[in-house]
């Protein structure tokens, strides 16, 4: 049985890789290209939409899970429907750009499905409401942060590495499947990007990460604040950048290059270096998370808050330092 599971997981990564290769061919034929521009961090026209490979791989995993655990079929179908909604609107947007509010509406519908599952499986109304807004936020955060080679998929791998050890079997398979699907895609996107995730992939990754966190909130006793620590590199950069743009009166939904990771590239750092730094920071985050996950709930919260304060200070130092260096607002 262990060999069968290991073989199936290896097949998942290979499936994702094969589908990414196929998606690249499709994108080239259809001329689905991201072209360089003032608000982009790449200098060469690159195919987009490779994230469809991750989506199909996760849906295939869900289908196998329905066969292995028939009692979980209704919940898996609802979760898969949410993933399809997010990926579908992203796929449409990759082919023909859509208004931001239309995409956001679909994101909230998908988030509502996940929140409904949380309530059905014993979560409180407050937890379900938090999952609703948290899921819609993560869908967009992963989209905002998908601006340089490898950063979005590698951070999803970090999240998977963080949650797989703390989730009970078979729930841990959700995190493992997410990580392996990203592993299959990553060689096509890092260190040199032969294809981008596209909106179909970045949004779907945000939804999948939210699903992992939602399951952990139900199946573990870990304080909900500590559950956010594996996601902290993205939450801090996206959250503070968004807040700064809102305060300065900018249109927050418009594309921009003001995240710290984008400023680092503008300052001369390579995509590989910046993605690598975020990956290392992510490894520190999941180390803090796993070491602290057996503490009393109040101490878990203390550790999490201290970690977020530390990252927030680091974000401010890096952002202000790069702003001074570049002479930008």
CB 141 within 8 A of CB 238: yes
Distance CA 142, CA 213 (A): 14
Distance CA 230, CA 235 (A): 9
178 phi and psi angles, rounded to 5 deg: -60, -45
Distance CA 181, CA 184 (A): 5
The DSSP symbol for 257 reads S
123 phi and psi angles, rounded to 5 deg: -75, 155
Residue 99: exposure state from Cβ atoms within 10 A (0-12, 13-18, ≥19): exposed
The position carrying tokens 């059905």 is 120
Q: Does 294 belong to an annotated binding site?
A: no
**Start-to-end C-alpha separation, the chain:** 58
The DSSP symbol for 34 reads E
Distance CA 329, CA 327 (A): 7
Distance CA 230, CA 288 (A): 8
Distance CA 57, CA 12 (A): 6
Q: Does 223 belong to an annotated binding site?
A: no
The position carrying tokens 């249109």 is 251
The position carrying tokens 């898969």 is 80
Q: Which of 109, 209, 112 is nearest to 163 (CA)?
A: 209
Q: SS3 for 255?
A: coil
Tally Cβ neighbours within 10 Å of residue 52: 24
Strand pairing partners for 47? 33
Q: Per the annotation, where are the binding residues?
A: 143, 199
Q: Per the annotation, where are the binding residues for Mg(2+)?
A: 143, 199
């Amino acid at each position: 049985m262990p060999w069968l599971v290991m073989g199936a997981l290896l097949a998942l990564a290979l499936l994702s890789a094969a589908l990414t290769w196929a998606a690249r061919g499709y994108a080239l034929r259809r001329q689905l290209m991201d072209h360089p521009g003032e608000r982009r961090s790449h200098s060469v026209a690159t195919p987009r939409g490779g994230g469809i490979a991750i989506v199909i791989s996760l849906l295939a995993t869900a289908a196998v899970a329905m066969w292995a655990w028939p009692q979980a079929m209704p919940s898996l179908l609802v979760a898969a429907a949410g993933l399809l909604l997010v990926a579908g609107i992203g796929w449409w947007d990759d082919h023909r750009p859509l208004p931001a509010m239309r995409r956001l509406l679909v994101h909230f519908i998908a988030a509502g499905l996940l929140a409904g599952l949380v309530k059905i499986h014993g979560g409180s109304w407050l937890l379900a409401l938090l999952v609703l807004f948290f899921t819609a936020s993560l869908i967009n955060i992963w989209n905002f942060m998908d601006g340089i080679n490898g950063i979005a998929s590698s951070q999803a791998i970090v999240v998977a590495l963080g949650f797989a050890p703390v989730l009970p079997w078979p729930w841990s398979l959700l995190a493992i499947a997410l990580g392996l699907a990203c592993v299959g895609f990553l060689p096509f996107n890092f260190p040199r990007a032969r294809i981008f995730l596209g909106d179909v992939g970045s949004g779907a990754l945000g939804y999948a990460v939210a699903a992992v966190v939602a399951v952990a909130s139900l199946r573990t006793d870990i304080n909900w604040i500590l559950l956010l620590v594996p996601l902290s590199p993205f939450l801090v950069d996206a959250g503070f950048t968004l807040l700064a743009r809102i305060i300065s009166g900018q249109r927050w939904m418009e594309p921009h290059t003001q995240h710290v990771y984008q400023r680092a590239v503008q300052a001369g750092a390579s995509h590989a270096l910046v993605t690598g730094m975020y990956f290392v920071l992510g490894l520190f985050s999941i180390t803090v998370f796993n070491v602290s996950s057996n503490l009393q709930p109040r101490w878990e919260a203390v550790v999490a808050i201290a970690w977020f304060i530390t990252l927030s200070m680091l974000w401010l130092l890096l952002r202000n330092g790069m702003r001074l260096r570049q002479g930008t607002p």
